[in-house]
C-alpha cells in the first residue's frame, strides 16, 4: 500500500504471450470494461472510443480469450462436440455436414474428435466434457456409455446417433436399420432369390443386429430359411471377401448376397470378381458409396438419410441447450433402396 512505483512488465512482450483486453485498454486509455463492451458489440461506448478500441485491438492482434470468457459466463462455450470413430466415411461426412448446418445458425463451433486409435471413446468424451462443450453428439464405438452418468446428472445435452447408448438413457437419432434390412432382402426375394447370404461386421453391434432382424423378418414373411447363410464379425474388406467366398462354395451356394455395411460390400464385390461371378450373383449393400454406380454391374444399395440425421441430432442438442426438458426422445429416419443393377440380377425362382 505504499506509493512505491509499480513497474509492471509488459505482458505482451513475453514469448507466446497474447494481448489481453487489459493491453488494449492501456493503449487506448480506457477501462477494461469499455474494451469488453466494444469487443462484444454492447452499447454504451462512444463511437470515437469504440473505433479506437477496434483499431488497436486489430493492431495488437487481440483475440478474446474464450477460456476466460466461458469460465466467467458459467460454461457457455458456444461449442458442441461430435465424437465419431472415424471421420472419413460417407456416414460421418453427411452427419457432420448436417450438424454444421444447424450449429452455424446457432453461432456454435462444431469440434469433432475421433475415437479411432489411441484414445478410447471414454477418454475422448471426458476430455470434451472437461473442456466444457455445451453439448455432445456421439456415435458410440464402445459398448458401454454408463461413464456418462456424470454428464447426464449435470444436464449436459447428449444426443446419440447411429446406435443408442448402453448403460444410460439419452436422446437418440437412428436409422430404420431393420426396415433397410427388410427392403434389401425383400428386393432380392422379389428377384427370384431364396438363398440369400449375409456378410456383416461385429455380431454384437446394434446396427448389425437390427439389419439382420430386417433380413430375418423378410425371409420369414416369404417362408424362406436362411440360417446357415450368415457370416458376421468381418472387420475389414478382406474378411468380408473370405466370408463371401465361403457362402458361394456351400453345397447349396448363395445366389445373392446382402452386405451389412460398405466395407463388407467392397469385400463381397472382390470375392465375386475373383470368382468371375459378378454378373451372376446379386448384391445389395447397406450404405451408399461414391463409386457404386461406376462398377459393373453398378451396385444396388440401401441408403440412409444421413444429413437429416445430423440435422435432427444438432437440433435436439440445441433444444436441450436452450433448456428444454421434454422427455427423452428416440427418432428414426427412413432408409431407401437405390436399384442400380447388382441387386436386380435374377435368381433361380425369377
- Would you count residue 270 as binding its own copies (CB under 8 A)? yes
Q: Of the ranges 72-80, 148-156, 190-198, 306-314, which one interacts with DNA (CB under 7 A)?
A: 72-80
Residues with Cβ within 8 Å of 1's Cβ and at least 6 positions away in sequence, in order, are: none
Rounded CA-CA distance 139/146 in Å is: 15
- Would you count residue 36 as binding its own copies (CB under 8 A)? no
Among 2, 3, 72, 290, binds DNA (CB under 7 A): 72
Rounded CA-CA distance 212/264 in Å is: 14
Which of DNA, its own copies, none has residue 109 at its interface (CB below 5 to 8 Å by kind)? its own copies
User: In the complex, what is the shortest distance from the CB of residue 128 to DNA, in angstroms, rounded to a whole number?
Assistant: 15
Q: Are 310 and 99 in contact (CB under 8 A)?
A: yes
Q: Spell out, one character per residue from 74 to 113, where the chain touches DNA: x when CB under 7 A holds, - when not.
A: x---------------------------------------
3-state secondary structure of 30: coil
Nearer CB in complex with its own copies: 119/192: 119
CB-count burial class (<10 Å; 0-12, 13-18, 19+) for 12? middle
Sites for its own copies among residues 126-155 (CB under 8 A): 126-132, 149-151, 153-155
300-304 and 335-338 beta bridge pairing: antiparallel
- Would you count residue 54 as binding DNA (CB under 7 A)? no
Place of cell 427370384: 192
User: In the complex, what is the shortest distance from the CB of residue 28 to DNA, in angstroms, rounded to a whole number?
Assistant: 9
Sites for its own copies among residues 285-344 (CB under 8 A): 289-291, 294-296
- Would you count residue 122 as binding DNA (CB under 7 A)? no
Rounded CA-CA distance 111/289 in Å is: 25
- Would you count residue 64 as binding DNA (CB under 7 A)? yes
- Would you count residue 46 as binding DNA (CB under 7 A)? yes
Q: Is 326 left (phi over 0), alpha (psi -120 to 50) or beta?
A: beta
Sheet holding 196-199, edge to edge: 230-231, 196-199, 256-259, 282-286, 300-304, 335-338
Give the three cell numbers for residue 313: 441430432
Q: How many CA atoms lie within 13 A of 87 on its CB side?
A: 8
Q: Are 302 and 284 in contact (CB under 8 A)?
A: yes
Among 69, 106, 166, 319, binds DNA (CB under 7 A): 69
- Would you count residue 65 as binding DNA (CB under 7 A)? yes
Q: Which residues bind DNA (CB under 7 A)?
A: 11, 17, 20-22, 30-34, 36-37, 39-40, 43-46, 49, 62, 64-65, 68-69, 71-74
Q: Which residues bind its own copies (CB under 8 A)?
A: 15-19, 60-68, 70-71, 74-75, 77, 79, 86-90, 92-93, 96-97, 100-101, 103-105, 109-114, 116-119, 124, 126-132, 149-151, 153-156, 266, 269-270, 273, 289-291, 294-296
Amino acid at each position: 500500500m505504499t506509493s512505491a512505483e509499480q513497474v509492471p512488465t509488459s505482458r505482451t512482450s513475453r514469448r507466446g504471450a497474447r494481448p489481453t483486453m487489459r493491453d488494449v485498454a492501456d493503449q487506448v486509455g480506457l477501462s477494461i470494461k469499455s474494451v469488453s463492451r466494444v469487443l462484444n458489440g454492447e452499447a454504451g461506448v462512444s463511437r470515437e472510443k469504440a473505433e479506437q478500441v477496434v483499431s488497436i485491438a486489430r493492431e495488437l492482434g487481440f483475440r478474446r480469450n474464450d477460456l476466460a470468457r466461458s469460465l466467467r459466463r458459467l460454461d457457455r462455450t458456444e461449442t458442441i462436440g461430435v465424437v465419431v470413430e472415424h471421420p472419413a466415411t460417407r456416414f460421418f461426412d453427411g452427419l457432420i455436414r448436417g450438424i454444421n448446418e444447424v450449429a452455424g445458425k446457432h453461432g456454435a463451433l462444431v469440434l469433432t474428435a475421433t475415437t479411432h486409435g489411441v484414445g478410447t471413446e471414454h477418454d475422448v468424451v471426458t476430455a470434451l466434457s472437461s473442456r466444457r462443450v455445451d453439448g455432445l453428439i456421439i456415435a458410440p464405438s464402445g459398448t458401454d456409455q454408463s461413464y456418462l452418468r456424470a454428464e447426464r446428472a449435470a444436464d449436459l445435452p447428449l444426443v446419440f446417433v447411429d446406435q443408442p447408448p448402453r448403460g444410460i438413457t439419452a436422446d437418440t437419432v437412428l436409422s430404420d436399420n431393420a426396415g433397410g434390412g427388410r427392403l434389401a432382402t425383400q428386393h432380392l426375394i422379389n428377384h427370384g432369390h431364396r438363398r440369400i447370404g449375409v456378410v456383416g461386421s461385429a455380431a454384437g453391434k446394434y446396427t448389425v443386429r437390427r439389419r439382420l432382424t430386417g433380413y430375418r423378418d423378410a425371409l420369414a414373411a416369404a417362408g424362406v430359411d436362411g440360417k446357415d447363410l450368415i457370416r458376421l464379425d468381418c472387420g475389414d474388406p478382406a474378411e468380408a471377401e473370405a466370408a463371401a467366398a465361403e457362402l458361394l462354395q456351400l453345397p447349396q451356394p448363395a445366389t445373392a448376397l446382402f452386405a451389412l455395411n460398405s466395407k463388407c460390400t467392397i469385400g463381397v464385390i472382390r470375392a465375386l470378381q475373383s470368382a468371375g461371378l459378378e454378373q451372376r450373383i446379386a448384391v445389395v449393400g447397406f450404405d451408399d458409396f461414391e463409386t457404386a454406380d461406376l462398377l459393373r454391374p453398378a451396385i444396388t444399395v440401401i441408403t440412409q438419410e444421413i444429413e437429416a440425421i445430423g440435422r435432427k441430432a444438432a437440433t435436439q442438442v440445441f433444444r436441450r441447450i436452450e433448456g428444454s426438458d421434454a422427455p427423452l426422445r428416440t427418432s428414426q429416419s427412413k432408409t431407401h433402396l437405390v436399384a442400380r443393377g447388382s441387386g436386380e440380377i435374377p435368381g433361380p425362382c425369377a
